[in-house]
Amino acid sequence: MLFAFLIISTASGGWLYPEQIHLSWTENEGEMRATWVTYLPVSSVISFRSMLCLDIPNPTEWIYVQGSSKKFQAGDKISNIEYIHTGVMTGLRSECKYEYSVGDGLFWSDLNVFSGRTPDYQAPWDTRGFEIIVLGDWGTGPNGQYTRHIINQEAKFRDFDAVLHVGDMAYDLDDNNGKVGDQWLRIVQPISANYAYMTLPGNHEKDDNFTHYKQRFNMPLNDANQGTGYFYSFDYGPAHFVMFDTEVFFYYSNDTQQTQLNWLIQDLQKANQNRDLRPWLILLSHHPLYCSVNWEIPLLQSNKDCGVDTIKLQNDLEEIFYSNAVDIYFQAHVHNYERESAIYHNKTVPSEYDGPHIHIGPKAPIYITNGNAGNRDGHNDPTSPTPQEWAQYWSNDYGYGRLKIFNDTHLYYEQYSAPLVDTIDYVWVIKTAKRYN
Ligand SMILES: *[C@@H]1O[C@H](CO)[C@@H](O)[C@H](O)[C@H]1NC(C)=O
Ligand SMILES: *[C@@H]1O[C@H](CO)[C@@H](O)[C@H](O)[C@H]1NC(C)=O
Ligand SMILES: *[C@@H]1O[C@H](CO)[C@@H](O)[C@H](O)[C@H]1NC(C)=O
Ligand SMILES: *[C@@H]1O[C@H](CO)[C@@H](O)[C@H](O)[C@H]1NC(C)=O
Ligand SMILES: [Fe+2]
């Protein structure tokens, strides 16, 4: 009976076959975590090997990792039960590429490939430059397909190191009894199975207390986040990245906010002690601190997002960002692209030199809104026809950003328009001196 059931299920929908494969970096150097889903309770195995190293040209032996799994009730019905598997590949070397497959020992996924370069937490320090994709507000619908098509192509050429998703995914992970989340994770798999795909929560993840976000993603652990993946940080090349959760300021109690703020302050202080080695401090979170208000259409969501909510977050966070000399804050949520100058207390802070596409020696955080990978609702937050004085460039085009940090002094960011298949904006940020303690 059971045997027949398995055969039929496999033939009809691949209930044993691993899907929704996504990678993430962990809190340890030289590790890559894989997470995937099956619809039957099978065992969790990863096999991996180095396939291309600078010093070892031939593949090594396969290494098998026993992972673990949990039962996840993704919706109301018994048919919505899924099994989320995870396991960690260790001992990775940054000069190697790895190939791997996930499965139950019998049914394996196709092979995927990732780079052994991971966050760098210990000597010898790896402060080489890198290139990372930054995007936000990305769903399953037609608006997101342009972005997906282009990043899929770039993924094949291994043109970047990782993806940072600044909240709001799938629209929503839990919709239609979790089927929307399943579908989105299948759609992004060509990217997420081959690169670390690092996430933080947005407001669209909030249903059932962010349950789907917590269960489906495995982000680096720290003492404060209790395994939730809401907030964490990592060092990569010459940068310290902080993935932060602004949603707690809207949906959670003062206690929860304070826990995260305490963690943030400690994390930034530690980053500043280490800033000679890693001069760049990049913070990312879903809700904006600054964006131009669109007062012309009275009922627009952006009047709240950029008018009321930004003021709340400025009160809660701006002083911390400023006093710790955060270089760039990437924000999303508003469905457009807006690059802003260095700002403090709602005013442009002049750098040593400012041009239309360059800031040399900035003296306050630069803000970039990037919530336009392609959300469900279209442009419900069109760019303001009357941008604020600190707005440098703005666009409604669906797309994403690319952050390149070359070295201790040179950072380059460009915004890519998916429909135009071209770069529409860029900025250089150049450090001239220390701006921290
Ligand atoms: C949601 O999470 C908060 C904070 O952890 C907790 O106080 C609350 O009881 C949770 N609510 C539900 C419905 O689980
Ligand atoms: C939480 O409440 C305490 C006491 O009223 C206050 O000092 C603190 O600033 C509050 N924290 C936040 C994040 O609002
Ligand atoms: C911020 O400055 C802009 C002008 O750039 C102004 O329109 C807006 O009202 C200011 N907001 C606050 C909260 O002061
Ligand atoms: C840093 O990178 C920039 C851009 O590639 C380059 O022009 C500059 O010379 C580099 N600086 C150092 C110290 O390598
Ligand atoms: Fe949002």
Same-domain pairing of 241 and 105? no
Q: Is residue 7 part of a domain?
A: no
Q: Is 407 touching ligand 4 by the criterion CB < 6 Å?
A: yes
Q: What CATH code is carried by the domain that includes residue 61?
A: 2.60.40.380
How high is the pLDDT of residue 12?
38
Q: Is residue 404 part of a domain?
A: yes
> Which atom of ligand 2 lies at the shortest distance from residue 257's CA?
13
Q: Running along the chain, 437 residues long, what does each successive block of 10 average in pLDDT?
A: 44 74 98 97 96 78 97 94 98 95 94 97 95 97 92 90 98 97 97 98 96 98 94 98 97 93 98 96 98 82 88 97 98 96 98 98 97 88 89 96 97 96 97 80
> Which atom of ligand 3 lies at the shortest distance from residue 346's CA?
1
Q: Do strands 68-73 and 239-243 pair parallel, antiparallel, or not at all (unpaired)?
A: unpaired
Of 284, 176, 153, the residue nearest 145 (C-alpha): 153
How high is the pLDDT of residue 74?
96
Q: Is 409 touching ligand 4 by the criterion CB < 6 Å?
A: yes
Ligand nearest to the CA of 341: 3
Distance 326 CA to ligand 3 centre (A): 22
Q: Is 257 touching ligand 2 by the criterion CB < 6 Å?
A: yes
Supply the DSSP string of 107-149, one letter for each residue: SBPPPEEEES-----SSSP----EEEEEE--EESSGGGHHHHH
Residue 224: C-alpha distances to residues 80, 215, 263, 388 (Å): 31, 17, 7, 37
Q: Is 261 touching ligand 2 by the criterion CB < 6 Å?
A: yes
- Final residue before a domain boundary, out of 115, 149, 170: 115
Token pair 């291309």 is found at 52
Token pair 């009809």 is found at 12
Distance 272 CA to ligand 1 centre (A): 34
H-helix or E-strand containing 170? strand 169-170
CA of residue 36 relative to chain centroid, distance: 18
Q: What CATH code is carried by the domain that includes residue 296?
A: 3.60.21.10
Q: Is 428 touching ligand 4 by the criterion CB < 6 Å?
A: no
Any idea how long the chain is?
A: 437
pTM: 0.94
**Both structure tokens of 21:** 């494969």
Same-domain pairing of 31 and 143? no
- Final residue before a domain boundary, out of 115, 140, 168: 115
- Final residue before a domain boundary, out of 63, 80, 115: 115
Of 109, 286, 133, 285, the residue nearest 186 (C-alpha): 109
Sign of CA dihedral 101, 37, 184, 370: negative
Q: Is 225 touching ligand 3 by the criterion CB < 6 Å?
A: no
How high is the pLDDT of residue 381?
82
Q: Are the C-beta atoms of 131 and 414 separated by less than 8 Å?
A: no
Q: Is 436 touching ligand 4 by the criterion CB < 6 Å?
A: no
Of 284, 292, 370, 335, the residue nearest 141 (C-alpha): 335
Same-domain pairing of 83 and 193? no
Same-domain pairing of 138 and 109? no
What 3-state class would DSSP assign to 340?
A: strand
Q: Is residue 262 part of a domain?
A: yes
Same-domain pairing of 276 and 366? yes
How high is the pLDDT of residue 132?
98
Name the DSSP letter for residue 307: I
Same-domain pairing of 88 and 183? no
Q: Is 426 touching ligand 4 by the criterion CB < 6 Å?
A: no
Query: How many domains would you assign to the chain?
Result: 2
Q: Closest Cα to atom 1, ligand 3: which residue? A: 346
Q: Is 346 touching ligand 3 by the criterion CB < 6 Å?
A: yes
Q: Is residue 8 part of a domain?
A: no
Same-domain pairing of 64 and 135? no
Domain residues for the domain of 41 are 18-115
Task: Report residues whose beta carbon is within 6 angstroms of any ligand 1 atom.
Answer: 209, 252, 256
How high is the pLDDT of residue 437?
55
Q: Is residue 437 part of a domain?
A: no
Supply the DSSP string of 196-256, one letter for each residue: EEEE---GGG-HHHHHHHHHH------TTTTT--SSEEEEETTEEEEE--TTHHHHS-HHH
Q: Is residue 94 part of a domain?
A: yes
Same-domain pairing of 91 and 158? no
Q: Which of 258, 263, 314, 319 to mutate to test the pocket of ligand 2 (most atoms within 8 A of CB)?
A: 258
Q: Is residue 13 part of a domain?
A: no
Q: Is residue 283 part of a domain?
A: yes
Q: Closest Cα to atom 14, ligand 3: which residue? A: 346
Of 309, 60, 344, 20, the residue nearest 189 (C-alpha): 20
Same-domain pairing of 325 and 391? yes
Supply the DSSP string of 27-72, one letter for each residue: SSTT-EEEEEEESS----EEEEEEEEESS--S----EEEE-EEEEE
Q: Closest Cα to atom 9, ligand 1: which residue? A: 209
Residue 246: C-alpha distances to residues 218, 314, 369 (Å): 19, 11, 14
Same-domain pairing of 158 and 299? yes
Same-domain pairing of 92 and 144? no
Q: Closest Cα to atom 3, ligand 3: which residue? A: 388
Same-domain pairing of 141 and 111? no
Token pair 């909240």 is found at 167
> Which atom of ligand 3 lies at the shortest distance from residue 389's CA?
5
**What's the order of all strands across the beta sheet hosting 63-66?**
63-66, 45-53, 96-103, 112-115
